[in-house]
Amino acid sequence: RPVLQVNGVNKIYGNGTVALKGADLTVKQGEFISLLGPSGCGKSTLLRIMAGLGEVTTGTVKWWEQDYDVVGSKGRKLAFVFQNATLMPWARVRKNVRLPLDLEHAGNSEEVEKKIDDALDMVGLKGFDESYPRELSGGMQMRASIARAMVTEPNLLLMDEPFGALDEMTRNKLNDDVLKLWQDNGWTIVFVTHSVYEAVYLSSRVVVMAARPGRIVDDIKIEQPFPRS
Residues forming the site for ligand ADP (CB under 6 A):
13, 15, 17, 19, 37, 39-45, 135-137, 139-140, 170, 173-174
Closest to ligand ADP by CB, 16 vs 227, is: 16
Query: CB–CB of 78/155 below 8 Å?
Result: yes
Min dist CB 11 to ligand ADP, Å, is: 8
Closest to ligand ADP by CB, 168 vs 223, is: 168
* Strands, sheet with 2-12, edge to edge from the N-terminal-most edge strand: 18-28, 2-12, 58-63, 66-67
Closest to ligand ADP by CB, 86 vs 170, is: 170
Min dist CB 64 to ligand ADP, Å, is: 25
Min dist CB 92 to ligand ADP, Å, is: 14
State the first-to-last Cα distance of the chain, in angstroms, to the nearest integer.
34
Please report, to the nearest 10 degrees, the dihedral formed by the alpha carbons of residues 83, 195, 22, 50 taken in order: -30
Min dist CB 55 to ligand ADP, Å, is: 11
Closest to ligand ADP by CB, 49 vs 101, is: 49
Residue closest to ligand ADP when measured from CB atoms? 139
Min dist CB 157 to ligand ADP, Å, is: 17
Backbone φ, ψ for residue 8 (5° rounding): 55, 45
Closest to ligand ADP by CB, 37 vs 100, is: 37
Query: CB–CB of 156/147 below 8 Å?
Result: no
Closest to ligand ADP by CB, 118 vs 177, is: 177
β-strands 18-28, 2-12 pairing:
antiparallel
Min dist CB 168 to ligand ADP, Å, is: 11
Query: CB–CB of 33/207 below 8 Å?
Result: yes
The helix, strand and coil proportions of the chain, stated in percent and rounded to the nearest 5, come to 35, 25, 40
